[in-house]
Structure 1
């Protein structure tokens, strides 16, 4: 690498590092606001909050690296052009591709980093994040019960407590348990306490009633087609307990893993024992190809930035139209990528669109940097000779 290459590469690398970290911190801050309630209202420590939200950072980096690579490349080369540094480098005999070499080298490093994030780091961190989220939702129910609030534990269990004593005793408790299909149970109790057990938290209730709606089949000898009736069964108790960690499917700690937390091999070749629905199989295949094509966008966006900066004349107070055109192209490519991803998830026949939107812009930009060879050019007519 020559001194000129090192000079440009150093500016690109430092700017990419600063912009990527700053943008990732901004995205992390906005996304982590929804988890602050766990710290302020539900008793989780701040360290747990940092560890939980920190698992989201790799996915942020994987998404924003192609964008920040484009922004940094465009900014640095436009500044070099505005300061006439590119003019001096061209006068020294450097071609367009020679000027592009530092940016392409940085883009190659970023592509490798994106592949590492997409194929290895992001699935692992997403799996850890969702497992922790599942534990908070189903196993740490004790911290989710707030006084005066209907707290949902899972999809079919709701707990309400009018207030909580200083010793942790709950007063005025209502538990609605719909985990048994067709037989929902509502429990009212004067007091109760949540205690941890090896299988998860359990609430012990005192002095209450257990109300359950039961279906009663028609009596023997009834005419055919007689519908079943329902009745309300009420049972008073002095002490009862409800397991807050048991799920409606009786799966214990098992859960369904979505596409983001599966490896590439699991997406392309899912285990038949998982009984993945056909709809999810289509999404899995689309997600696998998205992971393979997204890093290519980094190189394509870099080439678009180089085509914008190297093929136009930028002045300190001019050249805004070409700059706006480059930004508009990348915004359109991002929108096209999102549309292609949605279409591929619904219909796998659209998966080639993911590869097309990732590769074609880079090919066109490289052709532009090379001077658009093969394009017919208008040649001025030679001046007519004077008649003798």
Structure 2
């Protein structure tokens, strides 16, 4: 018994690992492309790029694992059926539920991984990603300023560089400060250096002038300087106390929102539904596993193959995934529909279990 269980577990584990790595890699690659622009503009290292892209893995994994588990189980049982191994095991006394048990063992491990990801890793990774992106976006000292181009590192700052020296110094610099559109300031310098300080990034300019127009007097104020320090930290966008998205919150913050926070009250349904969705999402794993197993060995035996059954099983799995999205959307509109989040996977699970029942063998009694 243990040998058979271990054998079936191995038949599922290898396709599961392959499907998980393949699907995660493809989605991770597409998601990482949106960080390319940030890496180029902020002159970040390759390590920073991988750090940002790794932070999106928990959200990808939570979506991939149920699908990968279904595909691996369906593939493994179809292969066992094609090689007539399931027929031999059934003839040896293994019931359908006994054959499905190894797949459920795999499903239990996947559920533990999903609960760990959804309840712990996802909020930590999402919060860290948001904070890191904010730091990179406002790190003006790391901004890559191109030669001969009017660079706009922020909405209110324009920088032009005629030439950049190998040591990083900039020649022929023009800086236009438009934070106050009614009173813009323009600075020009022969040479400038962009450096980091404990108080934030600063642009040190040498041999230049500062031009400012007085809108009331309609006069130009011109100030020549030998050395001028421009504090770039004041140009950074202030994040303030931004509202935390549901993906950034732990389960307790989702199920029990802060009723003193107007934003939480306005998004109460959204937060509560997200909390219950994290609880119920791992339950889709055993439901999908049972659908995969039932599509191969459930119902009456058919010698013509399992093509139609595989299509039916795949259609049932897709329907379950679509219903999960629909139910979550409806529950967000009306919190009274929240039980449907749990009823949906349990209904498909019950239907698959019914198909896995052993067929009733009728005895034919002949006449004496």
Residue 187 of structure 2 is matched in structure 1 by: 189
Unpaired segments ≥5 residues, structure 1:
215-230, 374-378
After superposition, the Cα gap between the structure-2 partners of 1:368 and 1:248, relative to the gap in structure 1 and judged at 3 Å, is same
Residue 113 of structure 2 is matched in structure 1 by: 113
Which residue among 311, 330, 355 is the counterpart of 1:368?
355
Unpaired segments ≥5 residues, structure 2:
none
What do residues 72-109 of structure 1 show as CA deviations (whole Å, max 9, x unaligned)?
A: 00000011111111100110111110110100111111
What do residues 204-223 of structure 1 show as CA deviations (whole Å, max 9, x unaligned)?
A: 56524346989xxxxxxxxx
Residue 136 of structure 1 is matched in structure 2 by: 136
After superposition, the Cα gap between the structure-2 partners of 1:347 and 1:165, relative to the gap in structure 1 and judged at 3 Å, is farther
Aligned ranges for residues 7-86 of structure 1 at < 5 Å?
7-86=7-86
What do residues 226-249 of structure 1 show as CA deviations (whole Å, max 9, x unaligned)?
A: xxxxx9897544457343456665
For the 8 Å contact 1:150–1:160, the answer to whether it is kept is yes
The Cα of 1:174 is off from its aligned counterpart by 3.0
Query: Structure 1 CA distance, aligned partners of 2:332 and 2:162?
Result: 47
Residue 217 of structure 1 is matched in structure 2 by: none
Residue 172 of structure 1 is matched in structure 2 by: 174
Query: Structure 2 CA distance, aligned partners of 1:285 and 1:96?
Result: 38
Aligned ranges for residues 349-388 of structure 1 at < 5 Å?
349-370=336-357
Query: Structure 2 CA distance, aligned partners of 1:232 and 1:250?
Result: 36
Query: Structure 1 CA distance, aligned partners of 2:111 and 2:156?
Result: 45
Out of 255-264 and 66-75, give the one that drifted further: 255-264
What do residues 116-165 of structure 1 show as CA deviations (whole Å, max 9, x unaligned)?
A: 11001111111111111111112x12233533255354xx5454435552
For the 8 Å contact 2:328–2:341, the answer to whether it is kept is yes
Task: Kindly indicate whether residue 294 of structure 2 is the aligned counterpart of residue 296 of structure 1.
Answer: no
Query: Structure 1 CA distance, aligned partners of 2:268 and 2:218?
Result: 43
The Cα of 1:18 is off from its aligned counterpart by 2.1
Query: Structure 2 CA distance, aligned partners of 1:279 and 1:297?
Result: 29
The Cα of 1:372 is off from its aligned counterpart by 9.0
Which residue among 217, 226, 230 is the counterpart of 1:241?
230
Which residue among 206, 209, 213 is the counterpart of 1:207?
209
For the 8 Å contact 1:193–1:204, the answer to whether it is kept is yes
Query: Structure 2 CA distance, aligned partners of 1:331 and 1:185?
Result: 59
For the 8 Å contact 1:162–1:172, the answer to whether it is kept is yes
Residue 330 of structure 2 is matched in structure 1 by: 343
After superposition, the Cα gap between the structure-2 partners of 1:72 and 1:145, relative to the gap in structure 1 and judged at 3 Å, is same
For the 8 Å contact 1:201–1:245, the answer to whether it is kept is no
After superposition, the Cα gap between the structure-2 partners of 1:202 and 1:61, relative to the gap in structure 1 and judged at 3 Å, is same
Task: Kindly indicate whether residue 308 of structure 2 is the aligned counterpart of residue 321 of structure 1.
Answer: yes
What do residues 263-321 of structure 1 show as CA deviations (whole Å, max 9, x unaligned)?
A: 11122234467553433333211211111111111111111111111126577x84322
Aligned CA RMSD, in angstroms, stands at: 3.4
The number of residues matched between the two structures is 354
What do residues 182-212 of structure 1 show as CA deviations (whole Å, max 9, x unaligned)?
A: x776433324543323343244565243469
What TM-score do you get using the length of structure 2 for normalisation? 0.83
Query: Structure 2 CA distance, aligned partners of 1:88 and 1:149?
Result: 74
Query: Structure 1 CA distance, aligned partners of 2:174 and 2:45?
Result: 27
For the 8 Å contact 2:140–2:232, the answer to whether it is kept is no
